[in-house]
Structure 1
Amino acid sequence: MPLTDAKCRSAQPGPRLQKLTDGGGLQLWLQPTGARLWRLAYRFDGKQKLLALGVYPTVPLARARQAREDAKRILADGLDPALEKKRQAQARANAPTFRHIAAEYVAKLRREKRSEATMAKVEWLLGFANAEFGDEPIRQIAAPAILKVLQSLEARERFDSARRLRSTIGSVFRYAIATARAEIDPTYALRGALTQVKATPRAAITDARKFGALLRAIDAFDGQPSTRIALQLLALLFPRPGELRLAEWTEFDLERAVWSIPASRMKMRRPHQMPLSRQAVELLGALRAISRGNFLFAGVRSPSRPISDGTLNAALRRLGYAKDEATGHGFRATASSLLNESGKWHPDAIERQLAHVEGNSVRAAYARGEHWDERVSMMQCWADYLDELKIPASRTVVAAVVK
């Protein structure tokens, strides 16, 4: 008579092993210790054999019956279910895990000389994935498992991190596909599954008179002299704050008035040269006299480490500018807006100075020039224009980027 869940639960152990039969060779062995073990009796190659199917109630009756049917199909194919189970277990043990492939992917990024900030971010993100399914064979990881870890970040309102994690996990899967250890990228199925949060542009002052007030406030900054100079250079050169914060003296040729930023520190992984205005060279000379170590802007505690990524924004707050009024990155938007509005400079020259990469592949093929001579003139005119913006509002302020 077939078993029921009630009978499986209520059966009491005795002094000897009891075998409760469900039919088709499926048995529940009730040990004297109280353990309940699923066994499947079958014949293969003329011999009586036994297959372990797990422990009740961890493996419920329905799953045990399904395992019995799976074993019958294996027998119908002329294979031994017990040997096939061992083969599958061995295959799982030898299968590359997500953690293993992710470590290879991280090593690949390091060989490509990605910045330490990028590597730290990638490894931090992969920590969430490894905690959830790092030890699973990569071929067995499906979209729902990935969505679970992404939604755990969204539940903490870390929407951008969830989006970046999806992209990073996808990169690991595509690396696995390229190395013949996976067939599909399950993150593709998650497009549109995450919460879409409208990006908030970084705050920037694009009104010339208001920007002049900010420049005057920076010149009067009473904090660390190096921090004041960093803010002044942000205004003059408008690099990405991280490019300036991590700048080293070996990158500067003050005689030629050129700052050469290596590809490893650029967002698009392309080396970038920046012409220096007379004002920028003077500031760098003053900074050189007070700097310590290789970094232009060394931290207070150790000259071997740069200032933190929050230092410049904190200085703007100290000057009285809220985070929705001005940010370190906002100097780029200010320069882009005012230079473009002047109408004097070619848009490509402005884009090259901002180290933007042309997204249109056809246009990029015809825009490989760096517009160097024009950029040299533009940066000197920009510096002169900032000097004029610093004139108090009671005096005439030039309204264009050139006299």
Structure 2
Amino acid sequence: MLNDAKIRAAKPGPKAYKLADAHQLYLYVSPQGAKLWRMKFKFDGKEKTLSLGPYPLVSLIAAREKRDDARRLLAEGLDPTVEKKLKIKANVEASRNTFEKVARAWHEINAPQWAKVHAADVIRSLERDIFPAIGSLPITAITPPKILEVLRAIEQRSAIETAKRVRQRISAIYAYAIASGIAQSDPSEKVGAALKPMPKKGRQPAITDIAELRRMLAKVDDDFARPITRLALRLIALTAVRPGELRGAMWSEFENLDGPLPLWRIPAARMKGDRDRKDEAGGDHLVPLAPESVAVLRAAWKLSGRGELV
């Protein structure tokens, strides 16, 4: 059997030669001085050679381990050379299945069942918080500590709820990868227990005195330099709609502004809720408009009337 001293002492000759070890393992020494581990074996009645790597990159101990692995495959009726090619192919394929690639495939499949706003929010959170850190890594190579590191960075922005939501999305991506045969396990599964707990919610601050409310609205009117912003804040105070509904308000949604019953008809598709809520027939949200609201819209028309959005 070989030892390191014999291997180091082997010098190249005019012809290639072999130094035998045991169980068909040998070192091939080329005329150029390369020392390569090889193993002879028979499979299906044919003599074959398995390359195990160069010395000293592959040590004597490592070469024997590779030989023993090959012998175990032979005992199971498998060809070690074929299994080696399959393993290399699987490793290459795994490196191509990056987290970002799989995440985008997951998003593409699920987005049609989500509201457009939610679908955009999901992919935006991944692009902002996840892809820069682990998007280029093979999805099977990502470890729980690496995921925790990414989520800790989100927590440092005091976005604790966002960190928890992003972890759930990572877990959903791994569930898709496991079902697709791309991954075997979900490294984010146990990470949730290591995240910071949500802070206890107290009562939201609210103005309940009408005089104080008037002062606050007057201050808003004085403090904002952009006229369209002042008008938007005035209209939200008059109608109590959600900020997103106000931002997306279109001139086509307003009816009968010159009549006795002016109305803002917010389409169901723009309202908060699941897909069924957004697809609901006759589910538009109706906002009756006071004269003061109509006055705000008339003022806004002078600034934004040429566009679709108020």
Instruction: State the distance in 1 between where 2:17 and 2:230 align.
Output: 84
Shift of 1:39: 2.3
User: What does residue 38 of structure 2 align with?
Assistant: 39
- The letter of the residue matching 1:24 is H
Give the C-alpha shift of residue 162 in structure 1: 4.7
Taking structure 1 as reference, are residues 108 and 44 closer, same or farther at Cα in structure 2, changes over 3 Å only?
closer
Change (3 A) 1:53 1:97: same
Query: What is the alpha-carbon distance in structure 2 between the residues aligned to residue 294 and residue 129 of structure 1?
Result: 40
Mapping of residues 287-326 of structure 1, within 5 Å? 287-291=300-304, 292-296=306-310
1:120 to 2:115 alignment? no
- The percent identity for this pair of structures is 33
* Cross-structure match for 1:258: 264
Cα shift at 1:60: 4.8
Q: Equivalent residue for 1:221?
A: 223
CA distance in 2 between counterparts of 1:19 and 1:199 reads 70
After superposing on structure 2, the runs of 4+ consecutive aligned residues of structure 1 that deviate more than 6 Å are 200-203
Which one-letter code corresponds to 1:208 in the other structure?
Answer: T
Partner SS state of residue 214, structure 1: helix
Tell me, what secondary structure is at the counterpart of 1:294? coil
- Alignment match of 2:249 (pick from 236, 247, 250): 247
Deviations 1:60-86 (A, max 9, x none): 555433322221111001221112222
1:154-195 deviation digits (Å, cap 9, x = unpaired): 2573565654443222222333455566665443233313x3
- Alignment partner of 1:104: what SS? helix
State the TM-score, normalizing by the size of structure 2: 0.71
Q: Which amino acid aligns with 2:73?
A: I
Residues in 1 aligned to 2:20 and 2:237: alpha-carbon distance in whole angstroms: 83
SS in 2 for 1:275: strand
Contact 1:40/1:50, CA 8 A, preserved across alignment: yes
Matched, 1:280 2:293: yes
Tell me, in whole angstroms, the C-alpha distance in 2 between the residues paired with 1:35 and 1:202: 73
What are the Cα deviations for residues 36-77 of structure 1, in whole angstroms up to 9, with x where unaligned?
533222222343321123345554555433322221111001
Please list every run of 5 or more consecutive structure 2 residues that lacks an aligned counterpart in the other structure: 279-283
1:60-75 aligned at under 5 Å gives the runs 60-75=59-74
Letter in 1 for 2:307: G
Which aligned pairs between 1:3-402 and structure 2 lie closer than 5 A? Answer: 3-4=3-4, 10=8, 14-15=12-13, 17=16, 19-31=18-30, 35-56=34-55, 58-90=57-89, 97-98=97-98, 99-112=100-113, 114-115=116-117, 116-125=120-129, 127=131, 128-134=133-139, 141=140, 145-154=143-152, 157=156, 160=160, 162-177=163-178, 184-193=185-194, 195-196=195-196, 198-199=198-199, 205-209=205-209, 210-253=212-255, 255=257, 256-263=262-269, 266=272, 268-269=274-275, 270-271=277-278, 273-278=285-290, 279-291=292-304, 292-296=306-310
Deviation at 1:196, TM superposition (A): 1.0
> Comparing both chains, which one has the higher relative contact order based on Cα–Cα distances under 8 Å and sequence gaps of 6 or more?
1
Corresponding position of 1:360: none
- Per-residue displacement from partner, 1:193-240 (whole Å, max 9, x unpaired)? 3x3154486996413345443212012235111011222233334444
Query: Residues 38 and 52 of structure 1 are in contact (CA less than 8 Å); yes or no, is this contact kept in structure 2?
Result: yes
Opposite residue 124 of structure 2, the aligned amino acid is A
User: 1:205/1:166 Cα in 2 relative to 1: closer, same or farther (>3 Å)?
Assistant: closer
**1:24 partner SS:** coil
Which residue type is aligned with residue 133 of structure 1?
P
Q: Distance in 2 between matches of 1:30 and 1:264?
A: 74
Report the count of equivalent residues: 286
CA contact (8 A) 1:205 1:211 kept: no
Which has the larger displacement, 195-204 or 97-106?
195-204
Matched-pair contact (CA < 8 Å) for 2:37–2:51: yes
Distance 1:38 1:202, change over 3 A: farther
Any idea what SS the aligned residue of 1:208 has?
coil
Q: Check whether the contact 1:39–1:52 (CA below 8 A) recurs between aligned residues.
A: yes
Q: Secondary structure at the match of 1:132?
A: coil
Distance of aligned partners of 1:222 and 1:155 in 2 relative to their CA distance in 1, 3 Å threshold:
closer
Letter in 1 for 2:233: L
Letter in 1 for 2:135: N
Q: CA contact under 8 A between 2:125 and 2:166: conserved in structure 1?
A: no
Rounded to whole Å, the distance in 1 between the matches of 2:172 and 2:298 is 44
**Cα distance in structure 2, aligned partners of 1:238 and 1:56:** 76
